[in-house]
Structure 1
Amino acid sequence: MNIFVNEKIYSFEYGVTAFEVRDIIKKDADIVVFNGFIIKEDVILKENDRLVLIKRGEIPDKEELEHLLVSRHTPSVHQKIKNAKVGIAGLGGLGSNVALLLSRMGVGKLLLVDFDVVEPSNLNRQQYFIRHIGMKKVDALTEIIGEINPFVSIESKNVFVEQSNIQSIFSDVDIIVEAFDNPKSKAALVNEVLTKMPDKKIIAASGMGGYFSSNLIKTKRVTDKFYLVGDEFSEARPGQGLMSPRVCIAASHQANMVIRILLCQDNA
């Protein structure tokens, strides 16, 4: 029978176990990932099961690195999302977090769109570091993603998004993540996509200010191509700022919805 070991196919007799395969192929591996789950007890393998064998502290070669990066995924997930292209409009608290989450998932292509630079007040919730202050956000985030998953193809556009350029910017993406702070920009993007880009799905956000309960943030499917994340009432305003925990929760909702759409699980 065929077993995938670090994404290479090997043939074994029926009845072979995970630890037996480890001892044959990589005896010094101290982490054994079986179909996305680290196992401590041996299991009998079946046809097309997947094992990833990892030695702690060992830096793999480039050929093997991508497989190890996604070793904790459910089998077949990586193959389904690797060819996708996701556009992220705005690289602040939402967008920078969404970009990193999708990079860690192994989404194959990201389009990063923002016109701003990193400044100190961004650091309370956005995925940048002190060394990035003054850098264009598209450049800083491209650098960070390259340090996490160099197999993600990044296209960046340092441009202010407005109604006149929305279609040209996002023409070739599968899904658009709306991650703007500016309500006018939010409305322009959502309206343009819903009325003039029938082949695109968009995930927008509304309501994540203050320190209300995190359980109020949810994902709602508004139409078959429009999804809304947030609590829909706690917009940022004087006396009700934006803080990392709730912003990151909303960003995680958006990233998770992207993956669900790509895996055709968005009807549930």
Structure 2
Amino acid sequence: MHIVVNEKPQKVPATLTLYQLRERFCSTADIIIHNGAPTTKDYPLRDNDKVVFIRRDHQPDINEIHEVLNARHTPEVHTILKGATVGIAGVGGLGSAVAVALTRMGIGKLIIADYDCVELSNLNRQQYFIDQIGLTKVEALRANLARINPFTAINCVHRHLDNDNIAKIFTGIDVMVEAFDNAESKAMLAHLWLRQFPHIPLVAGSGMAGCGSSNTIQTKRTIGKMYICGDGISAEGEGFGLMASRVGIVAHHQANCVIQLLLGIAPDSEENHADNRQQSSC
């Protein structure tokens, strides 16, 4: 019987079970992933099964990281994600959470740009820590992302973004994420991007303040290849601030939209929902 163990083809007896395989290849493994799903049960193995064994106390190298992502996302999905480059304009509440999600999913390269530094008032919703107050957001985020997946390449740009430098900074990307925290910057980027790069998808955020219903947050296609995530109406104001829960929902809508676009799935198509589940196990 032919199976794959930790991404390596193996020939094993046809009567072998999952636990017996663990004893043979990695007796100290704490986690077993069988055909893309974690399990604690013993199963008879079948031809072409894919099994990954993981030790919790082991520091993985790049090959092991790719093996696990291959196992969890399927090789076809992981190959696309690790070959992709995504730009993120602004790494506050939206951008930092999008970056964390994409890094966890194994995106090959991120270009992150922001002019700001980490402040105490950011910590209620942004992916930073108290001991990072005063650092530039891009460098602080790079350090955090490196702890999650050191094999995602991070290109940091500490600069105020405007019409004159955006095109140069975000060269060679597959998808652009707008994650600014003010309407003027959002409009500036949207107008520039739709005019200069209509062939590259833009994923923007709009409407996430307060702690209202999660179910009003949606991903919608607007003009050309521009997608907007949010409820479209909930703006920050007095007594109606930005909170981690709702900002995080929008950020993860954006991250999921990016993944769908990279995999060739239409993010806003109700007709594709059943097909999406079959196409991607991520």
Pick the TM interval, shorter chain. Answer: over 0.9
Tell me the distance in 2 between the aligned counterparts of 1:47 and 1:186.
52
Q: What is the CA distance between 1:64 and its match in structure 2?
A: 2.3
Deviation at 1:66, TM superposition (A): 4.0
Preserved contact between residue 84 and residue 174 of structure 1 (Cα < 8 Å):
yes
| Deviation of the 1:3 alpha carbon | 2.5
1:89-142 CA distance string (max 9 Å, x none): 000000000000000000000001101100110000000001111111110000
- What is the identity, as a one-letter code, of the residue corresponding to 1:254? Q
Q: CA deviation at 1:257?
A: 0.7
Residue 58 of structure 1 deviates from its aligned partner by: 3.2
Deviation, structure 1 residue 200 = 0.8
Query: Displacement of 1:82 after TM fit?
Result: 0.3
Match of 2:99 in 1: 99
Q: Give the match for residue 261 of structure 1.
A: 261
Aligned residue in 2 for 1:175: 175
Equivalent residue of 1:156, what SS? strand
Q: Percent identity of the aligned residues?
A: 47
The answer to whether the Cα contact below 8 Å between 2:198 and 2:224 also exists between their aligned partners in 1 is no
Distance in 1 (CA, whole Å) between partners of 2:193 and 2:125 is 27
Residue number in structure 2 paired with 1:189: 189
The residue that corresponds to 1:11 in the other structure is: 11
Residue identity matched to 1:185: S
Deviates more, 1:144-153 or 1:11-20: 11-20
Q: 1:157 to 1:48 in 2, by over 3 A?
A: farther
SS in 2 for 1:76: helix
CA RMSD of aligned residues (A): 1.9
Is 1:158 the counterpart of 2:166 in the alignment? no
- So what's the TM-score if we normalise by structure 1? 0.93
SS at 1:195 equivalent? helix
Aligned-pair CA distance for 1:222:
2.0
Q: Which amino acid aligns with 1:200?
A: I
Distance 1:211 1:44, change over 3 A: same
Q: Deviations over 1:141-161 (max 9, x none)?
A: 000011110000011111111
Question: Deviations along 1:35-66, whole A, 9 cap, x unmatched?
Answer: 22112223344454321102333334554244
Distance in 2, Cα, partners of 1:3 & 1:45:
8
2:265 alignment partner AA = Q
The code of the aligned residue for 1:261 comes to L
- Do 1:206 and 1:228's aligned partners in 2 also have CA atoms closer than 8 Å? yes
Paired with 1:213 and 1:124, the residues of 2 have a C-alpha distance of: 19
Where 1:164 maps in the other structure, the secondary structure is: coil
Q: What does residue 143 of structure 1 align with?
A: 143
2:62 maps to 1:76: no
Q: Return the alpha-carbon distance in structure 1 between the equivalents of residues 46 and 168 of structure 2.
A: 48
| Residue aligning to 1:133 | 133
Structure 2 unmatched runs, 5+ = 273-282
Unaligned 5+ runs, structure 1: none
SS in 2 for 1:190: helix
Number of residue equivalences: 268
CA shift, 1:20, in A, is 3.1
Using a 3 Å threshold, how does the CA distance of structure 1 residues 146 and 240 change in structure 2: closer, same or farther? same
Structure 1 window deviating more from structure 2 (36-45 vs 213-222): it is 36-45
Q: Which amino acid in 2 is paired with 1:93?
A: G
Question: One-letter code of the match for 1:171?
Answer: T
